[in-house]
């Protein structure tokens, strides 16, 4: 393959990604489906062996997770976070736990997978996709509280899934780690919390006081982001969770620092948002688009449809049913503010927004990297789950947006009868 052909393929993939983004705005079809299909078509046409790409999966996957979760942290506003963290944390923890238990029980008791293998697959598939939900929910007409809950749930569940999956793999490969599971999880979260938050506030201060308005600040921010990931992993903490907290602290740092350490007005500019901050958000949005596009194409490249047997398809469908059941049960206990009509509408949105994607795909490749036997089918099962959940949300988003005007009208009627002025 010549250099010109490689450049042509890169340009083609980026163009397909741009077209997919435009297509989503028009049809609400997630671009993940188009990009996975493009990757599979590309491999079929070029005849490239998928094993070549599978070797790169852990490294590319980890990088993609870091970029996506930093993007998630950058766009979460702290005042919205304070209002919605209880519902988001409840939704994430319950959905993750129930999904993991149901999927693991299904694969162990029905399909006779070893228990730890089944638990690893359950953890990989228990998280919703921040890479799909965050850009998707910003385009859909729902209230801000619901957007924040779903963004926070997907961002936290990605990080939590990485933490639990890696912990389970450590237990599977080292029997001595079984007695230390609680300490492993606690130390991982604590290290990420300290490193990510401190780094975010420190970088906010440096950017505001010394680096604001200078060139190449995004590249330095990018370097710090990778450094946060590396340091967290070095001290056996969750690197992706640390990066998410770094983005959250950096994004909200000016507001929080000026609130807790108020300065005279002439010095307040140290904490204020600058044009540099806008540039960093813009540049990182471009990088996020590029990474998402290439990763989903990459997923299509390593997908092996020839290995999709009737048994494997049955397993994937059964897992999907378990995921639906877990989501349905948990949504029943989540209560958001609003009228009865708004609450019913919110419940539908919470139920439908459960696509699997980037994190699940990355985690499905880890057992092979760790040398865990009996996990060769995990990648293909995960791709099928990604397809099922993304097809479901494609039709679900259309239903939600069609129902939105009726919900607004009924809510206003209810408020008018109660003597409340409609918004």
The pLDDT tens digits of the residues spanning 268-317 come to: 444 454 556 667 878 888 888 888 888 888 888 877 788 889 999 999 99
Residue from 156, 220, 219 nearest 192 by CA: 156
Residue from 398, 405, 403, 404 nearest 27 by CA: 398
Band of pLDDT at residue 129, cut at 50, 70 and 90 = confident
Is residue 414 packed enough to be buried (19+ CB in 10 Å), middle (13-18) or exposed (0-12)?
middle
With 80 as the cut, is the pLDDT of residue 223 above it?
Answer: yes
DSSP of 276-322: HHHHHHHHHHHHHHHHHHHHHHHHHHH--GGG--HHHHHHHHHHHHH
Helix (H, G, I), strand (E, B) or coil at 36: helix
How many C-beta atoms surround the C-beta of residue 406 within 10 A? 11
d(CA 200, CA 184): 24
Average model confidence (pLDDT) across the chain: 80
With 90 as the cut, is the pLDDT of residue 71 above it?
Answer: no
Give the domains, in start order, of the chain with CATH numbers: 3-417 (1.20.1530.20)
Kindly state the average pLDDT of the residues 35-57: 78
Residue from 140, 136, 87, 150 nearest 403 by CA: 140
348: left (phi over 0), alpha (psi -120 to 50) or beta: alpha
Q: What is the pTM for the complete model shown?
A: 0.79
Helix (H, G, I), strand (E, B) or coil at 46: helix
With 60 as the cut, is the pLDDT of residue 328 above it?
Answer: yes
Kindly state the average pLDDT of the residues 381-399: 85
pLDDT at 300: 84
The pLDDT tens digits of the residues spanning 76-126 come to: 777 767 777 788 888 899 999 999 999 999 999 999 999 989 999 999 999
> What is the per-residue burial (b if ≥16 Cβ within 10 Å, else e) of 86-116?
ebbebbbebbbbbbbebbbebbbeeeebeeb
The torsion of the CA quartet 334, 337, 340, 341, rounded to 10 degrees, works out to -100
Band of pLDDT at residue 4, cut at 50, 70 and 90 = confident
């Amino acid at each position: 393959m010549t250099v010109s052909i490689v450049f042509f393929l890169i340009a083609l993939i980026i163009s397909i990604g741009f077209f997919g983004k435009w297509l989503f705005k028009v049809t609400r079809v997630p671009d993940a489906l188009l990009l996975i299909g493009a990757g599979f078509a590309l491999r079929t046409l070029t005849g490239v062996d998928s094993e070549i790409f599978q070797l790169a999966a852990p490294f590319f996957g980890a990088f993609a997770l870091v970029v996506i979760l930093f993007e998630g942290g950058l766009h979460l506003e702290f005042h919205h976070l304070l209002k919605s963290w209880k519902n988001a944390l409840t939704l994430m923890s319950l959905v993750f736990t129930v999904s993991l238990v149901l999927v693991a029980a299904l694969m162990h008791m029905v399909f006779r997978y070893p228990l730890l293998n089944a638990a690893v697959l359950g953890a990989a598939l228990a998280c919703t996709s921040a890479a799909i939900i965050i850009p998707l929910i910003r385009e859909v007409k729902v209230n801000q509280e619901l957007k924040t809950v779903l963004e926070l749930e997907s961002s936290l569940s990605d990080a939590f899934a990485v933490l639990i999956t890696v912990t389970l793999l450590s237990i599977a490969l080292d029997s001595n780690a079984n007695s230390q599971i609680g300490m492993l999880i606690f130390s991982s979260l604590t290290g990420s919390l300290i490193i990510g938050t401190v780094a975010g506030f420190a970088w906010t201060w440096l950017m505001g006081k010394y680096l604001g308005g200078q060139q190449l600040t995004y590249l330095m921010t990018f370097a710090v982001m990778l450094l946060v990931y590396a340091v967290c992993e070095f001290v056996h903490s969750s690197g992706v969770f640390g990066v998410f907290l770094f983005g959250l602290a950096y994004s909200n740092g000016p507001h929080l620092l000026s609130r807790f350490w108020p300065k005279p007005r002439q010095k307040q500019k140290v904490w204020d948002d600058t044009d540099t901050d806008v540039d960093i958000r813009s540049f990182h949005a471009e990088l996020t688009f590029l990474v998402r596009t290439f990763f989903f194409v990459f997923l299509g490249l390593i997908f092996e449809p020839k290995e999709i047997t009737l048994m494997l398809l049955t397993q994937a469908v059964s897992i999907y049913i378990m995921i639906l059941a877990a989501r349905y049960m948990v949504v029943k206990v989540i209560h958001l503010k609003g009228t009865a009509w708004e609450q019913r509408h919110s419940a539908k949105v919470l139920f439908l927004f459960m696509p699997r994607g980037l994190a699940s795909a990355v985690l499905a490749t880890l057992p092979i990297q760790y040398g865990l036997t009996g996990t060769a089918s995990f990648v293909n099962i995960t791709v099928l789950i990604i397809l099922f959940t993304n097809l479901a949300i494609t039709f679900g988003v259309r239903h939600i947006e069609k129902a939105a005007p009726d919900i607004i009208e009924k809510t206003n009627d209810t408020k008018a009868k109660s003597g409340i002025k409609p918004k």
